[in-house]
Amino acid sequence: MALLKSFNKRAKTENETGLGTNSSINGGRFFNKSGAPNIQLQGIPFMERLNLYHTLLSLPKWQFLFIIILSFIGMNLAFASVYLLIGIEHLNGMVAITKLEKFGEAFFFSAQTFTTVGYGRINPVGFSASFVASLEALVGLLSFALVTGLLYGRFARPKAYINYSENALFVPFRGGTAFMLRLVPYTKNYLVNAEARLTLSMQIEEDGIKKNRFFSLELDISKANTLMSNWTLVHIINEESPFFNLTKEDIANAKAEILVFVQGFDESFSNTVVSRTSYTFDEFIYGAKFLPMYHPNETNSRTIIHLNKLNDYELVELPNFG
């Protein structure tokens, strides 16, 4: 399919996105829906580019807990094996008979030593076993200090708790057309001085070469004193808009992608938090409008927000849009 060769010359371009202009060296979207850059690193050894601290901080909760539990079991299995190699007779107080029972007792003695619980029934005898037990206690103390720091870092790390609608809509608006998407904070970490910014990426053919061009989408309201309810970001399509006079086919051919950036001050963290996501052309819906997601309660004394209605919309007629 032919690339877009004509676009609105009056649209405001962005030249400081930090993203490449040569579209032939880009693959797929710039940002995933989660906001993470859609980039795969290669060229240097994995261990050199691995930031273990950052990785453990950013892992999903279940993966982080799985790694902690697996590491705990793995280290105790290793130390239990060392105790068996030294000799089970150097662990005084063991009552196990079979090999499996002896390994089990060595494992649980290792766990008690690793956590510095030390119930006392089993104790090391001799230099070798005592040295390994002392080393394990040191490793355990350092490990728990590290895990405690990671848990605190994950717990206290500033984060923008914002959900975005799955789709962005082209909506009849004020006698014309507007581009809209919706977001909502999903915890009580409400933001103040919130600010949103949209950037449109399109592949434009210039002198026979595909190039990524970036355009700033002006918002009807780009700043909010406080963000405690849903917020619909509205870009009015007029003569200044890069969408002006484009058809659905033009937008698809240009592989349009909307980059969304939201930031605000979170009083709970006493810090500025940032959130981002993106919408590609196949996530656009032409001729729809969002349905309300909040209403007053029965006594008209409080507002109820239905977070599960963030993506709800209804189809409407969209005139003058090919």
Res 2 pLDDT > 70:
no
The number of C-alpha atoms within 13 Å of 5 and in the hemisphere containing its C-beta is 4
Q: What is the pLDDT of residue 183?
A: 96
Confidence tier at 23 by pLDDT (50, 70, 90): low
| Fold (topology level) of 23-40+160-315 | Immunoglobulin-like (2.60.40)
Closest C-alpha among 76, 78, 75, 107 to residue 91: 107
Res 191 pLDDT > 50:
yes
Res 99 pLDDT > 90:
no
What is the token pair recorded at 175? 């006698």
Rounded mean pLDDT of 256-280?
Answer: 93
Res 206 pLDDT > 80:
no
User: Please, which residues bridge with residue 194 across strands?
Assistant: 224
Q: Tokens 């086919």 sit at which residue?
A: 249
Rounded mean pLDDT of 41-64?
Answer: 81
Share of the chain above pLDDT 90, in %: 59
> CA–CA separation, 229 vs 3, rounded Å?
40
Q: What is the pLDDT of residue 22?
A: 57
Confidence tier at 35 by pLDDT (50, 70, 90): confident
3-state SS class at 97: coil
- The domain limits of the chain are 23-40+160-315, 48-156
Would you say the C-alpha torsion 17, 23, 25, 27 has a positive or negative sign? positive
Specify the length of the chain in residues: 322
Report the greatest alpha carbon distance in the chain. 89
Q: What is the pLDDT of residue 204?
A: 84
Q: Mention the CATH class of domain 48-156.
A: mainly alpha
> Identical fold at 23-40+160-315 and 48-156?
no
Share of the chain above pLDDT 70, in %: 90
The number of C-alpha atoms within 13 Å of 253 and in the hemisphere containing its C-beta is 15
pLDDT tens string 109-159: 999 999 988 888 888 898 999 999 999 999 999 999 999 999 998 888 888
> CA–CA separation, 297 vs 49, rounded Å?
52
Answer for the pair 229, 194: CB distance below 8 angstroms, yes or no: no
